[in-house]
């Protein structure tokens, strides 16, 4: 029998965005309902940010051991116990998931419904075939899922997505990773460093999230030193062969090469989970991927009482974005019809490869669209001879900064660099504070640190903006190698 419920706010999804929306909406109303059709615990903690960073941490550790002889230190034979690696990953992952589960458990049962939600009309949701919810406002926070070509399913259990990797009990001997995007690069490099033979195949020539071709080329070059990576691969055949997969591809010499791998990992992108919500029953404006169009400041759709947050919004599929968007959407759903613009942060994304990858503020491609080719200034620094980076034998990478001629405003950055996660935070704070390049150069820099590489790039940008003298010889009063 169908149960009927009335709610002020109904939230579909209990991931990071859904939980943030729930908290924000509850500040306004008692009757807030959260619906979940999968396991509680969030994508980030269960199969996303946390387990991937745990895998990378183990891989970094193995890499350090391999690097030790470069410092005159010989730790002996490197043994990677795949079972122990995966056990630690799962134990720590479960600990993180446990924190989320505790938080979900603290929400009274009357506010939680388990099942698949879909729209019957603009104010009515059906949950499976057991509950009908009449809601004044709705937040769609349904996350995203991996997408890959349908015919790859013929590989059966030899075809994996990121979720499956984190369930391994042991490490396989070899994998082919399809998709040198963010997930593919993080997983692929980590597996390679853990002793798994890795081949990585892309489509269309793009590596990572970059839009600046010089930074992309630099990252690709460093990654290719470690494992096979063809960002524009011609894969001629891919067939299951017993418990393995045979792949024929055209190699760099233009010759067909055959490999056999234990698994194929599909890291070919993700799509928002909005296709099973019966949105067709609503008169809601959608983009060409079928995702409701939202105002990024309010997270409101063209149907004024329906909001979208997190990966479902098709804006920036990142954890802090899911959290920000969830808070804004939940607050607005709660205070509706008085909707307010929420605080949006400067764009910041980090990929945990080595060297790390980061994007801040406006991308190179966005600036080319806005200012035209050559209409904005560029400063750069290589990390090859950067003092602290060389000290640590991590002297790889390129940082490119963009600035606005005339105003001298710092506009954005793309980089592959040692400790890019920290450089990117400094830059994002400067971007959000609307600092000029001249102001950024008045800030303190310690010695010897990787951030001195940032100062070099800032000086170069200052010169490109024609606001400072050209850099001459290396600045010795700043410290050697800066
Ligand atoms: C491998 C990997 C690594 C990542 N690493 C990082 C990182 O290092 N840093 C970073 O910032 N981001 C990272 N991300 C991205 C980050 O995990 C996501 O942006 C974030 O988790 C999205 O949160 P969300 O709330 O939108 O979605 P989710 O947490 O996926 O929540 C959506 C929920 O909605 C539920 N749901 C869906 N449809 C329905 C329905 N119809 N009815 C009821 N419930 C429904 C789902 O079951 C799910 O629980 C990573 C992602 C992956 C996959
Ligand atoms: N560190 C982080 O913050 C982090 C880590 C992981 C994921 N994420 C988030 O998850 C999102 C999704 O990541 P993703 O890696 O799935 O997507 P992505 O869009 O970053 O990469 C997908 C890649 O697959 C390639 N591709 C598509 N079809 C292909 C095919 N048939 N064969 C070979 N290659 C193909 C694309 O060209 C692209 O390079 C990211 O945009 C990011 O926001 C963030």
pLDDT digits (tens, 9 = 90+) for 29-50: 999 999 999 999 999 999 999 9
Q: Output the CA 37–ligand 1 centroid distance in Å.
A: 13
Structure tokens at 163: 């979720």
SS3 of residue 193 by DSSP: helix
Average pLDDT (245-263) is 95
- For a substitution probing ligand 2, which of 57, 176, 182, 360 has the most ligand atoms within 8 Å of its CB? 182
- Residues 346-400 have pLDDT tens digits of 999 999 999 999 999 999 999 999 999 889 999 999 999 999 999 999 999 999 9
Residue 237 has which token pair? Answer: 């055949």
pLDDT given at position 386: 97
Give residue for tokens 């990024």. Answer: 296
- Residue 177 confidence (pLDDT): 98
Whether 273 lines ligand 1, by a CB cut-off of 6 Å, is: yes
Q: Which residues line ligand 2 (CB under 6 A)?
A: 149, 178-184, 186, 201-204, 206, 209, 267-270, 317-318, 349-352
pLDDT above 60 for 477: no
Confidence label for 468 from pLDDT (cuts 50, 70 and 90) = confident
Q: Which ligand is nearest to the CA of 275?
A: 1
Residues of the chain with CATH 3.50.50.60: 3-38+115-146+271-335, 150-268
Q: What's domain 348-467's superfamily in CATH? A: FAD/NAD-linked reductase, C-terminal dimerisation domain (3.30.390.30)
Which residue in 144, 179, 172 sits closest to 158, CA to CA? Answer: 172
150-268: what fold?
A: FAD/NAD(P)-binding domain (3.50.50)
Mean pLDDT, all residues of the chain: 96
For the Cβ of 403 lying below 6 angstroms from any atom of ligand 1, the answer is no
Q: Is the CB of 49 under 6 A from ligand 1?
A: yes
Enter the pTM of the model.
0.97
Tell me the pLDDT band of 470, cut-offs 50, 70 and 90.
confident
Q: Sign (positive/negative) of CA torsion 203, 208, 211, 214?
A: negative
Phi-psi label, residue 242: left if phi above 0, alpha if psi -120 to 50, beta otherwise: left
pLDDT at 362: 98
Residues 108/110/116/120 CA torsion (nearest 10 deg):
-140
Residues 6+ apart with CB under 8 A from 146: 161, 162, 266, 267, 268, 269, 270
**Mean pLDDT value of segment 238-254:** 95
| CB-based contact 75:90 (threshold 8 Å) | no
Ligand 1 atom index nearest CA of 116: 42
CA 473–ligand 2 middle distance (angstroms) = 41
- Residue 336 CB-half CA count within 13 A: 26
| Residues in CB range of 87: below 8 A, 6 or more apart | none
Interface pTM, i.e. ipTM = 0.98
Pick the CATH number of 3-38+115-146+271-335 from 1.10.530.10, 3.40.50.920, 3.50.50.60, 1.20.1300.10: 3.50.50.60
Average pLDDT of span 108-135: 97
- In this structure, the residue with its CA closest to atom 30 of ligand 1 is 143
Q: What is the pLDDT of residue 469?
A: 81
User: Is there a contact between 134 and 6 (Cβ–Cβ < 8 Å)?
Assistant: yes
Write down the pLDDT at residue 353: 98
Using the predicted structure, report yes or no on whether residue 472 has a pLDDT greater than 90: no
Asked if pLDDT for residue 174 goes beyond 70, the answer is: yes
291 Cα–ligand 2 center, Å = 18
Task: Tell me where in the chain the CATH 3.30.390.30 domain(s) lie.
Answer: 348-467
Q: What is the pLDDT of residues 214-228, one digit of tens each?
A: 999 999 999 999 999
Indicate whether 480 pLDDT > 90.
no
pLDDT band at residue 479, thresholds of 50, 70 and 90?
low
Ligand 1 atom nearest residue 16's Cα = 25
Cα 149 to Cα 130, 166, 235, 267, 380, distances in angstroms: 34, 22, 13, 11, 38
């Amino acid at each position: 029998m169908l149960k009927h419920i009335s709610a002020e706010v109904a939230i579909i999804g209990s991931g990071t965005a859904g939980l943030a929306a729930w908290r924000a909406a509850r500040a306004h109303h008692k009757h807030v309902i959260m619906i979940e059709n999968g396991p509680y615990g969030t994508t980030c903690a269960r199969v996303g940010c946390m387990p991937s960073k745990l895998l990378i941490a183990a891989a970094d550790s193995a890499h350090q051991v391999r690097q030790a002889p470069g410092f005159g230190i010989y730790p002996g034979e490197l043994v990677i116990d795949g079972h122990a690696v995966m056990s630690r990953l799962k134990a720590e992952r479960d600990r993180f998931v446990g924190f989320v589960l505790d938080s979900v458990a603290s929400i009274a049962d009357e506010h939680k419904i388990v099942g698949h939600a879909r729209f019957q009309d603009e104010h009515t949701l059906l949950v499976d075939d057991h509950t009908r919810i009449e809601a004044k406002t709705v937040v769609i926070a349904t996350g995203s899922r991996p997408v890959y070509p349908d015919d790859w399913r013929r590989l059966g259990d030899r075809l994996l997505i990121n979720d499956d990797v984190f369930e391994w009990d042991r490490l396989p001997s070899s994998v082919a990773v399809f998709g040198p995007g963010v997930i593919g690069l993080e997983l692929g490099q980590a597996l390679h460093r853990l002793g798994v033979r890795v081949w990585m195949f892309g489509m269309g020539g793009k590596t990572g999230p970059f839009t600046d071709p010089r930074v992309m080329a630099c990252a690709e070059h460093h990654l290719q030193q470690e494992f096979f990576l063809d960002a524009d691969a011609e894969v001629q055949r891919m067939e299951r062969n017993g418990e393995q997969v045979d792949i024929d591809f055209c190699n760099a010499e233009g010759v067909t090469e055959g490999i056999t791998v234990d698994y194929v990992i599909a890291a070919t992108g993700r799509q928002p989970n909005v296709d099973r919500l019966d949105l067709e029953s609503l008169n809601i404006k959608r983009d060409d991927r079928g995702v409701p169009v939202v105002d990024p400041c309010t997270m409101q759709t063209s149907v004024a009482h329906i909001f979208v947050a997190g990966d479902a919004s098709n804006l920036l599929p990142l954890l802090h974005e899911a959290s920000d968007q969830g808070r804004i959407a939940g607050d607005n759903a709660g205070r509706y019809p008085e909707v307010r613009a929420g605080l949006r942060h400067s764009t910041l994304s980090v990929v945990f490869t080595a060297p790390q990858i980061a994007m801040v503020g406006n991308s190179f491609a966005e600036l080319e669209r806005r200012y035209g080719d050559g209409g904005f200034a560029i400063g750069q620094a290589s990390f090859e001879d950067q003092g602290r980076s060389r000290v640590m034998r991590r002297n790889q990478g390129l940082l490119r900064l963009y600035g606005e001629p005339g105003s001298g405003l710092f506009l954005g950055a793309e980089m592959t660099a040692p400790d890019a996660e920290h450089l990117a935070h400094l830059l994002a704070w400067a971007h959000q504070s609307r600092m000029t390049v001249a102001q950024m150069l008045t800030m303190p820099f310690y010695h010897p640190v990787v951030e001195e590489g940032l100062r070099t790039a800032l000086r170069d940008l200052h010169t490109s903006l024609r606001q400072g003298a050209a850099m001459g010889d290396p600045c010795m009063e700043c410290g050697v190698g800066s």
